[in-house]
């Protein structure tokens, strides 16, 4: 970690607000720029937290981000008079290229995601509320694309997972699917799939980090 960033983080944690402010005022403009850049780089690439990637995805897609632990990641007002706000669920994926070619398993951006502790009851709720899913891809913290589609596009995929998990039997209390996952193959034919954002130059330059069909979709569609 940047030495100045480490110092600021320590002050924030154990010193008073006045002492922290004094320390920041003593830093040069260039120093502060370097510190903020290092902080953002560490935060947006954090393997244990996708909060900043979720925030960027939701904001660029035109939603207001909410940091509530439970519920959806963002909302926006519908254009229809009297209708409820539209909810969204962000599913960001980040590929870190440091040492990528040395890894046995080479992950790809695949416009995918996962829902934890999933059940048939949860599926019925999600289909009823039908939030928009924002599947985004980052490479070393740099946004490559955002795809938007209604949750209902995942109905067939999740019904398949539920059928496989319980095989027609009634779910017992405490039973669930640990991670109900999806990828581009499960949404690619849905007529409501939209590209919200794409960095076409970066996508071209980073083809090897993309699932083949997703790459073709991004470079051939506006």
29 alpha carbon, distance to own chain's centre: 32
Answer yes or no: is pLDDT of 172 > 90: no
Q: Say if residues 108 and 209 touch (Cβ distance below 8 Å).
A: yes
pLDDT of 1 above 70: no
Mean pLDDT within 182-210: 97
pLDDT reported for residue 36 = 92
Per the prediction, the chain carries an average pLDDT of: 92
As a whole number, mean pLDDT of residues 196-215 equals 97
Rg (CA), the chain: 21
- Say if residue 2's pLDDT is above 80: no
- Which pLDDT does position 188 carry in this prediction? 96
Q: How far apart are CA 96 and CA 155, in angstroms?
A: 31
Per-residue pLDDT, 222 = 65
DSSP 53: H
Helix (H, G, I), strand (E, B) or coil at 26: coil
User: Would strands 86-95 and 132-139 be described as parallel, antiparallel, or unpaired?
Assistant: parallel
The pLDDT-based confidence of 124 (bands split at 50, 70, 90) is: very high
Q: Write the pLDDT tens digit of every residue in 46-103.
A: 887 898 999 999 999 999 998 776 678 999 987 666 678 899 999 999 999 998 988 8
**Counting beta carbons within 10 angstroms of the beta carbon of residue 183, is it exposed (0 to 12), middle (13 to 18) or buried (19 or more)?**
buried
Q: Read off the pLDDT of each residue in 217-222 and give the average, rounded to a whole number.
A: 90
Percent pLDDT > 90 in the chain is 73
* Greater model confidence, 167 or 16: 16
Name the H helices within the chain.
3-14, 17-25, 29-44, 51-60, 120-129, 155-166, 200-205, 212-220
User: What CATH class is the domain 48-220?
Assistant: alpha beta
On the question of pLDDT at 142 being above 90, the answer is yes
pLDDT over 70, % of the chain: 96
Compute how many other C-beta atoms are within 10 angstroms of the C-beta atom of residue 216: 13
Dihedral pair phi/psi, residue 105, rounded to 5°: -105, 120
Residues 6+ apart with CB under 8 A from 120: 162, 166, 171
Residue 49: the pLDDT is 84
| CB of 144 closer than 8 Å to CB of 198 | yes
């Amino acid at each position: 970690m940047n030495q100045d960033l480490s110092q600021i983080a320590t002050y924030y944690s154990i010193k008073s607000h006045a002492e922290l402010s004094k320390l920041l005022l003593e830093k040069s403009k260039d120093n502060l720029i370097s510190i903020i850049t290092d902080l953002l780089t560490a935060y947006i690439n954090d393997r244990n937290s996708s909060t900043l990637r979720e925030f960027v995805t939701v904001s660029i897609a035109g939603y207001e981000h909410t940091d509530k632990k439970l519920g959806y990641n963002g909302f926006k007002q519908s254009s229809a008079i009297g209708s409820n706000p539209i909810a969204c669920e962000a599913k960001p994926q980040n590929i870190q290229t440091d040492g990528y070619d040395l890894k046995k398993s080479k992950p790809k951006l695949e416009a995918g995601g996962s829902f934890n502790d999933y059940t048939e009851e949860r599926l019925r709720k999600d289909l009823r509320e039908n939030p928009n899913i924002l599947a985004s891809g980052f490479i070393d913290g740099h946004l490559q694309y955002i795809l938007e589609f209604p949750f209902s596009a995942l109905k067939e995929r999740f019904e398949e997972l539920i059928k496989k998990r319980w095989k027609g039997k009634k779910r017992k209390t405490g039973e669930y699917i640990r991670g109900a996952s999806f990828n581009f193959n499960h949404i690619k034919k849905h007529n409501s799939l939209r590209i919200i954002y794409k960095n076409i130059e970066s996508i071209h330059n980073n083809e090897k980090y993309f699932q083949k069909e997703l790459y073709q979709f991004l470079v051939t569609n506006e």
